[in-house]
């Protein structure tokens, strides 16, 4: 392995949850060439490999990772091409996401302003198709440069080749590709993209579909995220989380009909659960609403607990272990399934553990 690799590095120090045991070997890749070389070296000897960015969407086993962890720290934000109203920006996988969003707003480039305050690094965003408040990165990504571990070559994948879906992509759940660079196409404008999320529109006193000043949209989203403990703050244990722990369930027509029956039986026929149709005619539910109505209050738990600010975040208030967090997650998942017949799915990537 690379002589620059360290041994038995605590992964708890590299995750926003502050959980996880040691990595047998740990290598920091400062640029794309180092990233590719480290991955190729591990693959050449059949070494188990974990690619680590900001650690904001990761749950690592208490036993750690018995292999090589490559910490992606490759930098660079470069304007590739620009026209009067469009700008393409090439960003290294190790660039921190929130400063990149702040830069785009300062430059008068719209398209990712409602993704402000999300922790992590740029390389992780296409994997999860990171999204919030009516925007996701698939709306602005035009190209993802990857290293193909199967062929040992680098290639550029266009948006259509990335298999983007709700919190999903062709990269998620697959170890074939390592994200090296992401190219975004942003709009030159001092106004936001049309506001699609009702909570953001209400905060601005406008109807959904309206546009607001770019900096105002960013400030509003940051304020909303802070109120839910979703902006990293070392003095706030509610931010010691992996963000939203469960994805919002998406149900087909028959499943949704059955779900509404369960809601009526449990909460009364007058209760209408929040649900939004998607492009395929399915209905997207609110995982936070399900958790709350299943009887799990903010602050529920012990060593690990539900955030005191938002029921969708599971937190490590200090002193928890990964198994404590998983025990709480399983309790919540089972309670929602019993109450409403809906099985919640974890959003964070699980390393050495499973629900």
| Catalytic machinery residues | 167, 244, 347
* Neighbour count for residue 163 (Cβ, 10 Å): 16
Measure the CA–CA gap between 97 and 320, rounded to whole angstroms.
Answer: 27
HEC sequence for the chain: CCCCCEEEEEHHHHCCCCCCCEEEEEEEECCHHHHHHHHHHHHHCCCCEEEECCCCCEEECCCCEEEEEEEECCCCEEEEEECCCEEEEEEECCCEHHHHHHHHHHCCEECCHHHCCCCCEHHHHHHHCCEECCEEHHHCEEEEEEEECCCCEEEEEEHHHHCCECCECCCCCCCCEEEEEEEEEEEECCECCCCCCHHHHHHHCCCCCCCCEHHHHHHHHHHHHHHCCCCCCCCCHHHCEEEECECCCEECHHHHHHHHHHHHHHHCCCCCCCEEECCCCCEEECHHHHHHHCCCCCCCECCCEECCCCCCEEECCCCCCHHHHHHHHHHHHHHHHHHHCCCCCECCEEECCCC
Distances (CA, A) of 123 to 36, 65, 227, 259: 14, 21, 27, 36
CB 214 within 8 A of CB 110: yes
């Amino acid at each position: 392995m690379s002589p620059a690799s360290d041994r038995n590095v605590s992964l708890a120090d590299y995750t926003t949850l502050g959980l996880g045991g040691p990595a047998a070997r740990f290598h920091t890749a400062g640029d794309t060439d180092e990233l590719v070389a480290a991955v190729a070296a591990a693959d050449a000897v059949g070494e188990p490999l974990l690619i680590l960015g900001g650690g904001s969407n990761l749950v690592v086993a208490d036993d750690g990772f018995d292999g090589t962890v490559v910490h992606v720290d490759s930098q660079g934000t470069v304007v590739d091409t620009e026209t009067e109203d469009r700008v393409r920006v090439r960003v290294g996988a190790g660039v921190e996401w929130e400063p990149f969003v702040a830069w785009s707003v300062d430059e008068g480039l719209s398209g990712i302003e409602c993704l402000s305050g999300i922790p992590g690094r740029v390389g992780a965003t296409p994997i999860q198709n990171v999204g919030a408040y009516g925007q996701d990165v698939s709306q602005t990504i035009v190209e993802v440069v990857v290293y193909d571990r199967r062929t040992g070559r680098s290639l550029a994948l266009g948006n259509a080749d990335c298999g983007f879906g709700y919190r999903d992509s062709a990269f998620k759940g697959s170890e074939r590709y390592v994200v090296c660079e992401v190219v975004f196409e942003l709009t030159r404008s001092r106004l936001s993209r049309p506001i699609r999320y009702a909570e953001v529109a209400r905060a601005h006193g406008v109807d959904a579909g309206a546009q607001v000043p770019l900096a105002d949209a960013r400030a509003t989203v940051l304020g909303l995220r802070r109120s839910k403990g979703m902006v990293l703050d070392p003095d706030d244990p509610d931010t010691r989380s992996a963000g939203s722990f469960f994805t919002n369930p998406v149900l087909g027509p028959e499943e949704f009909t059955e779900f509404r029956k369960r809601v009526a039986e449990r909460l009364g026929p007058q209760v209408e659960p929040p649900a939004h149709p998607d492009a395929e005619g399915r209905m997207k539910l609110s995982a936070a609403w399900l958790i709350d109505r299943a009887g799990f209050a903010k602050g529920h738990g012990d060593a690990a607990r539900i955030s005191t600010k938002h029921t969708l975040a599971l937190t490590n208030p200090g002193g928890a272990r990964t198994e404590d967090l998983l025990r709480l997650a399983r309790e919540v998942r089972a309670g929602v399934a019993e109450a409403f017949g809906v099985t919640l799915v974890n959003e964070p990537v699980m390393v050495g553990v499973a629900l």
